[in-house]
Structure 1
Amino acid sequence: MRVSTKITGVFAIIFFLSIIATGCVTAQKNEQGSDGGDTPARIEFEQGIIEGNILVNSQPDNEADGTIEPASGDSLYMTDSGTITVTANVPAAGDYVVKIYYALPTSYGDKENNVMVNDTDLGPQKFPATGGKWTAKWIQATLQEGDNTISISHNWGYTWFDYLTVEALF
């Protein structure tokens, strides 16, 4: 009886936390594609400012591991230099989760790339190898109401980037 009560309590807590965790930015419709619903705006990296040695890939591939899983459209491959900058619009100032969707073949190992939000340098962020599958790297950031610039710049590089989303942190 006690075990089932504890298990039920644990599941109730997990359920409650999952409801809280799904709270998303409900931004106004903007060029990043937010529809004003509960789906966070999807901001494609190839629509941002691309500087340095970054390749736009329709069908990314990797000679060592075969193919990288197909992206949502084009993706960007940051090689030995470069910066990608996009703009995210949020309805209110506060803490948010920036989810950066990226892929790395296992043979490449983990990589670090620098992330900057507005004028705040978040420093090197570890992007673990994904076996070529697209995975979200979660980064907590304080954003201002309206437009915010989010940049990823080369540290190790050699990482594929697809898009990012921004969700309110509850």
Structure 2
Amino acid sequence: MTAQSDSIQSVTASQVYKSTFLSHSSSLSSNPVQYPIEVSFCDHEQAQLAYLLRLLKQASEQNRWIMFIGADALLDRQLLSNAGVDINKVLVLKEKHRQSTQALMAKALHMGNCSAVIASGNVQDYCNQTIHDAAIHGNSMAFIVNRTQQASSLLH
């Protein structure tokens, strides 16, 4: 089992977006992403944020939720709206009720009610078989936001 979970790696938001663009598919449901998607950005380099917003816009076109786990993962409501994300499909889970963020993410992904689940932290903490299998089962995307330098304009 350890060897199998060691093979789980992350991909970046730009890689996912470019692969959906190159496949001529604007629908994420036809191209399920099987690995946690790392979104790393700081004040001076926000290209990954732009790709994340494009992917969330596509995700909001599905008849499912976009869930942010914890306030530290949340992006500004106006930023999401300006990017074309349907704000009415955004959920924020603030209270974790003594469960780890990883466990909550796996549960949200597995249920299939969310097209995307976003948490914050180190992507390596989410590169495991549980998250991988849950994303596949729910046909959902798992985003891990890692702000290398807090950008006050991006926080809600």
Give the TM-score normalised by structure 1.
0.25
Tell which structure's C-alpha radius of gyration is larger. Answer: 1
Q: Which protein is richer in helix relative to its size?
A: 2
Q: Higher relative CO (CA 8 A, sep ≥ 6), structure 1 or 2?
A: 2
Q: Which protein is richer in strand relative to its size?
A: 1
Give the TM-score normalised by structure 2.
0.27
